[in-house]
Amino acid sequence: MKPNSGTLVINIMNGGKAEAYEGVYQCTARNERGAAISNNIVVRPSRSPLWTKEKLEPNHVREGDSLVLHCRPPVGLPPPIIFWMDNAFQRLPQSERVSQGLNGDLYFSNVQPEDTREDYICYARFNHTQTIQQKQPISVKVFSTKPVTERQPVLLTPTGSTSTKVELRGNVLLLECIAAGLPTPVIRWIKEGGELPANRTFFENFKKTLKIIDVSEADSGNYKCIARNALGSVHHVISVTVKAAPYWITAPRNLVLSPGEDGTLICRANGNPKPSISWLANGVPIAIAPEDPSRKVDGDTIIFSHVQERSSAVYQCNASNEYGYLLANAFVNVLAEPPRILTPANKLYQVIADSPALLDCAYFGSPKPEIEWFKGVKGSILRGNEYVFHDNGTLEIPVAQKNNAGTYTCVARNELGKIQNEVQLEIKDPTMIIKQPEYKVIQRYGQVSFECIIKHDSTLLPTVTWLKDNDELPDDERFLVGKDNLTIMNVTDKDDGTYTCIVNTTLDSVSASAVLTVVARPNPPFDLELTGQLERSIDLSWLPGDENNSPVTSFVIEFEDALHEPGVWRYQTEVPGSQTTAQLKLSPYVNYSFRVIAVNRIGRSQPSEPSEQYLTKSASPDENPANVQGIGSEPDNLVITWEPLKGFQSNGPGLQYKVSWRQKDVDDEWTSVIVANVSKYIVSGTPTFVPYEVKVQALNDLGYAPEPSEVIGHSGEDLPMVAPGNVQVHVINSTLAKVHWDPVPLKSVRGHLQGYKVYYWKVQSLSRRSRRHVEKKILTFRGNKTFGMLPGLEPYSSYKLNVRVVNGKGEGPASPDKVFKTPEGVPSSPSFLKITNPTLDSLTLEWGSPTHPNGVLTSYTLKFQPINNTHELGPLVEIRIPANESSLILKNLNYSTRYKFYFNAQTSVGSGSQITEEAVTIMDEGKISMASRQVDIATQGWFIGLMCAVALLILILLIVCFIRRNKGGKYPVKEKEDAHADPEIQPMKEDDGTFGEYSDAEDHKPLKKGSRTPSDRTVKKEDSDDSLVDYGEGVNGQFNEDGSFIGQYSGKKEKEPAEGNESSEAPSPVNAMNSFV
């Protein structure tokens, strides 16, 4: 046994046999307080016996029959691992047809001729001794019979229709079914009356083995394997019973008691079958242990009553059944100790806000002390869901906030004494990365910067560290680490990777990462090779260069014609980026060289080195000029144009063009000319705008190109000769009309009909009878349309229009002017609404007629209603006013009342949009006179001094309240402040002159839908027509010499509540001074 240790060392390296030490060992530790014992430890030597000698006969099997090669390995400790190999030490292939069973045998569902061999060898590997034992080789010879008879499945293992299996709880359950048959059967597993457990079920050995891990009693039941092929099926039911070695439900725990206390030791275990419980005291069965009157055994529980110090002992609980046992030691310690707090005094805890705070109060005492926590010097005991009180004395604040900071006191008390300890808690702001580094894609040799802007507690000192791929940054001057960023200069390919910003403080750590991808244009392809040379095609292959982190999307192939255009590279074709070969079409009489360019998202690579040259033979042209056209430039000519062939399209020397034409639909012969080095030919003396058939054919010294296709052209156009007739206008509404016309004869168009143009203009407004500058508008209608819509007309106006036909040369003559009139529409809003001369009971309204009457005005409509102090709208009054009026005096109104007005104009069609305005009648003269005197008082020196004295008294009162409150007195500061508030900040109620509640300026919100007018009361047409006026009495109010009030209203624009339930009047200095009269 090792010195000062309980470890027993058995060393057989220097001699001795392992078998001599085989047995069951148990360790006992003892002192004056008791004895504890360990579990039994079984020591067994490993064994790897040899295979017994046996003579193996060759196996002669008919093709299609089943076969089992038995392994029967020697029994070793631990059991060996079995596998089959051949003489070359190669594992024998296994499949659904041939597989190894759990017992090590090799099963053939049906044998095939290829199974014939003489070296089927079973090996047993003993891992503990690191040895491998080999069985004698087994020979198998398969002989064929024709035909091979197919057979339905038969189970090779297990045999019979049913079997049983017992497994222990927590182990791995392995069930096996191997079947013979031809064709090879397929195995399927089900559990009768239930489902196979999800996430714990696996199929092995080509579904011949069902594996369920971590089995429990719930996995007991009947499991059926079904083997099926085309001829039928067979099944086997395995009844599984899950037994259990003992396992703890409640293991006994150490018990600390004080003299005279009661306690219990509980030892509860379960298993299948149910384990038996036995107790030992200090390693001795409790039945023969020294008697203790305070102890009583009740099955799985020991009950202690009025213990004494001599009752201290170590008790062992043993729970056992036929599958195993459990042993646990529990120390019953009888002590009498006053409380002790083990946590250092005034320990400082610093915690990040919104994270848990754990304040330790490690304690010891017997009886077990009670722990209480207090906050502050004279705080009350902490309780409630805000705190978690752990059994070890720790106070947990699950989500610590700033207001949790301070001094906390832990008090431990039992019947022998009391002790307390204070700890400090500081709450720090969390460290945050408020701007994290972002994914970057940068081109090679560029500059990139990653930001890492942090926010932290001012008392914590953060350190910022940058990592590349979770390692330190390279020692390179190109990496510049700033206060809140990392900059990499002159980026190279090796800078690819993940960059992480880590911010550490003494309390927390945060990090953020971003990936840098360095991209560049691809490297040029190389090793160009020409193969498969033919007269009209050739194969080109190449090797791609490096993609530089941006996949190649395509390869562009260019060619040079050293014969016709030396030094000029032209586009040949483009292939996908996954392709490295291309078959290229060739033209005759071209000396080709090729080069390849790789393309990715960044751009194009440099061109590859040119390929070798390849000269093709001459031939007649393969194609004719493209884009042949015949268009006259004058009324008496036809200009024939074409796109000439390029040099490599000529296919040989002596390129020329045969130009042919004839008038269409006339029995004329083709007229032809041969030209060279031009792309245009002019035919003169043609009729105006007649169709021609035109063709252009290429030829060279070796012959003509194929017969060209004909195109239709026209000789030159001339202006149309005839105007459209029968022009009719149908007025749809006041702003829209539809115009019709008859089409002109096509022969009179003398060109390609492009459409018709309608010219229209307003002559005058029927309501004003005043002419203005004529502005003509033009609408073009493409093709052969004979009607069109004229939108955007002005109501109640007179218009004229005419129509012209258009061809490629220009416009024809105009049709006679057609006159039409638009009907009346609704008018626009009045141009302004102004309210003047407010008196106690009247207001004067003035307005301007609509800018666009859109007809004959029939009348005006005025609607108005009062608005009270809570912005509620009163009854609506409506007045009709003749159209020739421009002002109105409203009488019999309430004094000092706000009114809202709605005003619009009408024509015979209907009412136009309205304009709104608000105004207030003036106050009663008696109140105005009083307010005037109050204004004078407010300017006196004695009044200002009085206000200062009141303010000073309030300040002194507040200081006294603050002092008394800090001393623990319950002083109702709010009530005292309300009773002695400064009168200047309390507006007077209008009704009785008493002090009202002070309200914030935000309480005087204006109505949502109100007009906003400048101080002259004029409402502009473009302003909102549904808003109320915002005004103030005290600031802008003025008085005449006779004391009458002149209202001045501000033009402040502010949205007001539509409900009108809040006052729009700000507290007035006049009303405030009224409270002191």
Least confident of 319-328, 340-349, 579-588, 869-878: 869-878
How many Å apart are CA 933 and CA 1004, to the nearest integer? 26
Single-letter amino acid code for the residue at 658: K
**Pairing mode of beta strands 138-143, 59-62:** parallel
| C-alpha separations of 732 from 737, 756, 759 in Å | 5, 21, 18
Both tokens of 770, joined, read 């005043």
pLDDT given at position 1060 = 39
| C-alpha separations of 273 from 220, 240, 574 in Å | 14, 15, 79
The better pLDDT of the pair 903, 870 is held by 903
pLDDT given at position 773 = 64
For residue 922, name the pLDDT band (cuts at 50, 70, 90).
Answer: confident
pLDDT given at position 939 = 57
pLDDT digits (tens, 9 = 90+) for 291-336: 889 999 999 999 999 998 888 999 999 999 999 999 999 999 888 8
Closest CA to 931 of 1074, 1065, 1038: 1074
Least confident of 214-223, 872-881, 1049-1058: 1049-1058
Number of continuous H segments (helices) and E segments (strands) in the chain: 6, 80
pLDDT given at position 356 = 94
How many Å apart are CA 229 and CA 234, to the nearest integer? 9
pLDDT(1020) > 70: no
pLDDT(165) > 80: yes
The better pLDDT of the pair 376, 449 is held by 449
pLDDT given at position 246 = 94
Across 32-46, 1014-1028, 1057-1071, the highest mean pLDDT is recorded for 32-46
pLDDT given at position 966 = 67
Residue keyed to tokens 């010499």 = 1041
Q: Where are the alpha helices (DSSP H) in 335-476?
A: none
pLDDT given at position 240 = 96
pLDDT given at position 57 = 86
pLDDT(121) > 90: yes
pLDDT(994) > 60: no
pLDDT given at position 927 = 47
Q: What pTM, to 2 d.p., does this model score?
A: 0.43
Both tokens of 249, joined, read 């439900």
pLDDT given at position 947 = 86
Average pLDDT over residues 653-666: 92
pLDDT digits (tens, 9 = 90+) for 932-987: 444 445 556 777 888 888 988 999 988 888 887 765 544 343 443 343 433 333 33
Average pLDDT over residues 870-888: 89
pLDDT(1049) > 50: no
Average pLDDT over residues 500-512: 95
User: Residue 477: how many CB atoms within 10 A of its CB?
Assistant: 7
pLDDT digits (tens, 9 = 90+) for 294-305: 999 999 999 999
Instruction: Find out whether 632 and 599 touch, Cβ atoms under 8 Å.
Output: no
Which are the contacts of 438, defined by CB distance < 8 A and separation ≥ 6? Answer: 450, 451, 514
pLDDT given at position 52 = 79
How many Å apart are CA 165 and CA 403, to the nearest integer? 64
pLDDT(1043) > 70: no
Which are the contacts of 174, defined by CB distance < 8 A and separation ≥ 6? Answer: 102, 209, 210, 211
pLDDT given at position 128 = 82
Average pLDDT over residues 861-887: 89
How many Å apart are CA 592 and CA 611, to the nearest integer? 9
Q: Which residues pair with 321 in a beta bridge?
A: 324
pLDDT digits (tens, 9 = 90+) for 785-813: 999 999 999 999 999 999 999 998 999 99
| C-alpha separations of 629 from 642, 715, 861 in Å | 6, 11, 70
- How many CA atoms are closer than 13 Å to the CA of 519, on its beta-carbon side? 16
Instruction: Find out whether 223 and 175 touch, Cβ atoms under 8 Å.
Output: yes
For residue 1021, name the pLDDT band (cuts at 50, 70, 90).
Answer: very low
How many Å apart are CA 786 and CA 866, to the nearest integer? 59
User: Residue 404: how many CB atoms within 10 A of its CB?
Assistant: 18
Q: What is the DSSP letter of 748?
A: H
Q: pLDDT > 90: what percent of the chain?
A: 64
pLDDT digits (tens, 9 = 90+) for 148-161: 889 999 999 999 99
pLDDT(1009) > 70: no
pLDDT given at position 1070 = 32
Q: Which residues pair with 332 in a beta bridge?
A: 255, 313
Residue keyed to tokens 């026209």 = 714
- Cα separation of the two ends of the chain: 107
How many Å apart are CA 958 and CA 973, to the nearest integer? 8
How many Å apart are CA 226 and CA 233, to the nearest integer? 7
pLDDT given at position 384 = 79
Average confidence score pLDDT of the chain:
85
pLDDT(991) > 90: no
How many Å apart are CA 755 and CA 742, to the nearest integer? 13
| C-alpha separations of 884 from 848, 864, 887, 905, 916 in Å | 11, 21, 10, 11, 20
Average pLDDT over residues 469-485: 93
For residue 385, name the pLDDT band (cuts at 50, 70, 90).
Answer: confident
Least confident of 47-51, 339-343, 704-708: 47-51
pLDDT digits (tens, 9 = 90+) for 692-748: 999 999 999 999 999 999 999 999 999 999 999 999 999 999 999 999 999 999 889
pLDDT given at position 2 = 82
pLDDT(1029) > 90: no
Instruction: Find out whether 1034 and 1068 touch, Cβ atoms under 8 Å.
Output: yes
Average pLDDT over residues 107-118: 93
